[in-house]
Amino acid sequence: MTGLFEDFSMTIGGKGVTSPATIDVLNPATEEVVASVPDCTQDQLNEAVAAARKAFPGWRDTPIDERRKVLFKMAEVIAANADDFARLFTLEQGRPLAGARMEIDFGAYWAAEVAKQEIPVTVTEDSDQKLSETHHVPLGVVAGIVPWNFPFNLALWKIAPALLTGNTLVLKPSPFTPLTMLKFAELMRDHMPAGVLNVVSGGDSLGPWLTAHPEVDKISFTGSTATGKKVMESAASDLKRITLELGGNDAAIVMPDVDVDAIADQLFFAAFGNSGQICIATKRMYVHEDIYDKVAEALTVRAQHAVVGDGLEQASNFGPIQNRPQFERVKNLIEDAKEKGLNFIAGGDLKDDKGYFIPISIVDNPPEESRVVQEEAFGPVLPLLKFKDLDEVIARVNASEYGLAGSIWTKDVEKAKEVAKRLDTGTVWINHSMYIMPWTPFAGRKQSGMGVENGQEGLLEFTAPLTITVAKEPQPA
């Protein structure tokens, strides 16, 4: 066993495995190398899938209460190492330490809460002639693929339900943020049978190898819509089961009856938490024209006071963009907005320093068709938009290829619930945002995804229904 900050190895068949080649993981605040990790070869990936396949029958037949214990152990191991995990997280992901610690703590909480979930058995007939029960059995080997924005928690969203339901797993973190997951798997090696949880790290070939692998039964994928489509194509060859949690362009609708001062902090956080790198962040904010100026002023003041900096520095409230390609994408979106003559009421000017820093930026009422409104920025750039009429704003919100989540801010909760039913998204929050718990089903509509994660619906996505029907003895006359 080594410390949390050095000697990164993959976990394959319960053992630590290194590779002939490595990839460097950079600190996005300094662009310096934090550590090198194995670049998994195709043979090693095959070994990981074979280890998961070998472990499957034993794990499937392990009583669920024993499987629960492994999840509780995960929570214990995370909690016992939370300070180091949080620091490692900041080094690779960039988020300031307090936010990093929240993600680590939430990972422990998630494992422990999923451990308490039940797999239902439904009796669909209990007549004189027949007893019919539907059980939910594990699928086999699951491939879990996760992005870099919440690399720890989103991995736990896959590990905990996959293992609880009796599947074995090969998890692939993003090449930009593999460190915390590699160390988590290392710390868990002695606490579960070999092959139940395998974690592999590598470059761009690794994801396609994994999704095309004939011994993988299900893919649980979180990432961009563009990659999600490739995953779906790859899964089609042998009809692998898939759950896709993809991109979004979530809208907030702010009605004229709100108390702007009371909700301004929440609106600001909804858009700029994790520097906007949240799939369910508010990426378009529609504000009624009567209160537009007041909301614009409240957000601008907060943007001016925000400290964007290295996550290890105490003063920083917002970290950098996590990686160079994403930094270039967000920069390009800002440049496009400027070229089109759009007005920034906050931010918009980039410094030429080290690190992938982008200031908190707000664009003042840009045209609906502008790129900054239509595209998922996935960075701290918010278009603030005016609306007059409710039907008009609902149409604008729904005119998106995405349908992940959204929020409505108003004192009239009943009316907001009616509006929620007219939004083409999987989740709507009223007077708050970004609330997802182990028991809340989370599902993207349109090009935001397919299937469900979390809640009982999400748990059952790691299973297949098995209906067992028993013919009863003929009843005596």
Give the residues lining the site for ligand NAD (CB under 6 A). 145-149, 154, 172, 174-175, 207-208, 211, 222-224, 227, 230-231, 245-248, 279, 376, 378, 404, 444, 449
Shortest gap between Cβ of 442 and ligand NAD (angstroms)? 7
Nearer to ligand NAD, 144 or 166 (CB): 144
CA distance 167 to 284: 39
- Let me know if 40 is a catalytic residue: no
Burial of 133 (0-12, 13-18, 19+ CB in 10 A): middle
CA distance 53 to 170: 10
CA distance 368 to 424: 18
38 close to 9: Cβ distance less than 8 angstroms: yes
CA distance 23 to 206: 12
Shortest gap between Cβ of 282 and ligand NAD (angstroms)? 13
Shortest gap between Cβ of 56 and ligand NAD (angstroms)? 22
Nearer to ligand NAD, 249 or 300 (CB): 249
Nearer to ligand NAD, 40 or 78 (CB): 40
CA distance 21 to 205: 14
Q: Alpha helices, DSSP H only, in 274-389?
A: 292-305, 324-339, 371-374
Alpha carbon 175 to chain centroid distance? 15
405 close to 280: Cβ distance less than 8 angstroms: yes
Please report the sign of the dihedral spanned by the C-alpha atoms of residue 9, residue 12, residue 14, residue 18. Answer: negative
Shortest gap between Cβ of 287 and ligand NAD (angstroms)? 23
Nearer to ligand NAD, 272 or 387 (CB): 272
CA distance 347 to 342: 12
Residue with the closest Cβ to ligand NAD?
207
Shortest gap between Cβ of 93 and ligand NAD (angstroms)? 11
Shortest gap between Cβ of 209 and ligand NAD (angstroms)? 9
CA distance 325 to 28: 11
Tokens of 449: 């995804």
CA distance 334 to 340: 10
CA distance 369 to 181: 40
Nearer to ligand NAD, 304 or 440 (CB): 440
Shortest gap between Cβ of 158 and ligand NAD (angstroms)? 11
The pairing of beta strand 361-364 with beta strand 381-387: parallel
Q: Alpha helices, DSSP H only, in 61-96?
A: 64-80, 82-93
Burial of 421 (0-12, 13-18, 19+ CB in 10 A): exposed
Please tell me which residue in 40, 92, 279, 453 is annotated as part of the active site. Answer: 279
Tokens of 220: 């649980």
Tokens of 152: 């720890």
- Let me know if 279 is a catalytic residue: yes
Phi-psi region of 9 (alpha: psi -120 to 50; beta: other; left: phi over 0): beta
Shortest gap between Cβ of 28 and ligand NAD (angstroms)? 13
When computed from its CA atoms, the radius of gyration of the chain, rounded to whole angstroms, is 23
Please tell me which residue in 245, 376, 453, 461 is annotated as part of the active site. Answer: 245
Nearer to ligand NAD, 320 or 444 (CB): 444
Nearer to ligand NAD, 279 or 291 (CB): 279
Nearer to ligand NAD, 103 or 410 (CB): 103
Residues annotated as part of the active site: 245, 279
